[in-house]
Amino acid sequence: MKVLVMVKQVPDTETRIKIRPDGQGIVEDGIKWVINPYDEFAVEESLRIREKFGGETVVVALGPKRVEEAVRQSLAMGADRAVIIESADMLEPSLVVQALAKVVKEEGFDLIITGKQAVDDDSAQVGPMLAARLGLPHASIVIKLDIDDSQNKLRVERELEGATEVVELPFPSVITAQRGLNEPRYPTLPNIMKAKKKEVKRIPLDSLSIDPSPRIRLIQLSPPPDRPQPTVLTGEPAETAKKLAELLHEQAKVI
């Protein structure tokens, strides 16, 4: 079974983000870049499928030169090879999907797995849009995945608000991975060394002849407002309760 995994490189969640003076992006100097956490679940699940049924796991990523770090980490986890679509700029989801769709059609596949969303823009659009562009069935926010021994169908559980939905899909199809699907493995030193020799195919974005027309226009990035200092109440319980009720009524306006 051939599984393609879409991987994105994002700033480490512990990184303190600074916005550029022009408000059109972030300051990238000094940022630690990592694999999008949800994509790690996608990579791990693809490896488990290969270990059970055989086949190949191929990682596909789009971005500037630094994205190779995320790709090499995926290869160190156990992926067989990788494809990088070289782009000097990060693109909006619709343009990313156009580029990915051309590559996956050329590669061929039985299953595509992505993370449910990227933690930098939280758009959660690439998986569903890729499925739509390829005309494939799709299930998002997957927390459990089973493939029958005949490998004719895929059974997944999706996390919904207050419920779990069970869906059966044919192959090929697209799913997006949610936290809880699995526990991603750590790359071992031998696999890290092997990853340096694995194939990484590079495709210039310009060679894909995608429609460059953006659907989203970035107007301005701005940091969230500073959180107000908390109010600490002390004293006798009755007095404290009375003061709290006054604050909730007069300041918070929730009662």
What is the reported pLDDT for 215?
Answer: 84
List, for residues 205-228, the tens digit of each pLDDT value: 999 988 878 888 888 888 888 888
How far, in Å, CA of 5 to CA of 109, rounded? 10
**Would the pLDDT of 230 be above 80?**
yes
* Residue 167 DSSP SS3: strand
211 vs 103, which has greater pLDDT? 103
Under 8 Å between Cβ of 49 and 185: no
List, for residues 49-90, the tens digit of each pLDDT value: 999 999 999 999 999 999 999 999 999 999 999 999 999 877
Average pLDDT, the chain: 92
Residue 115: half-sphere exposure toward Cβ, Cα within 13 Å: 24
What is the reported pLDDT for 24?
Answer: 87
- Residue 119 CB neighbours (<10 A): 16
Q: Output the six-digit token pair for 218.
A: 């970035």
Cis peptide before 172 (omega within 30 of 0): yes
Under 8 Å between Cβ of 31 and 141: no
What is the reported pLDDT for 233?
Answer: 87
What is the reported pLDDT for 183?
Answer: 96
Segments making up each domain of the chain, as ranges: 2-208, 225-255
Instruction: Give, in order, the Cα–Cα distances in Å from 180 to each of 153, 165, 183.
Output: 22, 15, 7
Residue 39 phi, psi dihedral angles, 5° rounding = -70, -25
Using the CB atoms, write b or e for 93-114: b if 16+ within 10 Å: bbbbbbbbbbbbeeeebbbbbb
Spatial CB neighbours of 120, under 8 Å, sequence gap ≥ 6: 8, 10, 11, 36
Confidence band of 25 (pLDDT split at 50, 70, 90): confident
Residue 69: half-sphere exposure toward Cβ, Cα within 13 Å: 12
What is the reported pLDDT for 226?
Answer: 84
If residue 243 lies in a helix (H) or strand (E), which one and from where to where?
A: helix 237-250
List, for residues 113-172, the tens digit of each pLDDT value: 999 999 988 899 999 999 999 999 999 999 999 998 787 889 999 988 889 999 999 999
Residue 200 phi, psi dihedral angles, 5° rounding = -125, 110
What is the reported pLDDT for 184?
Answer: 96
Query: Rounded to two decimals, what is the model's pTM?
Result: 0.85
Q: What is the DSSP letter of 21?
A: T
Residue 172: half-sphere exposure toward Cβ, Cα within 13 Å: 20
**Would the pLDDT of 16 be above 90?**
no
pLDDT, mean of residues 27-42: 92
Confidence band of 30 (pLDDT split at 50, 70, 90): confident
Domain at 2-208, CATH class: alpha beta
* Residue 102 DSSP SS3: helix
What is the reported pLDDT for 194?
Answer: 93
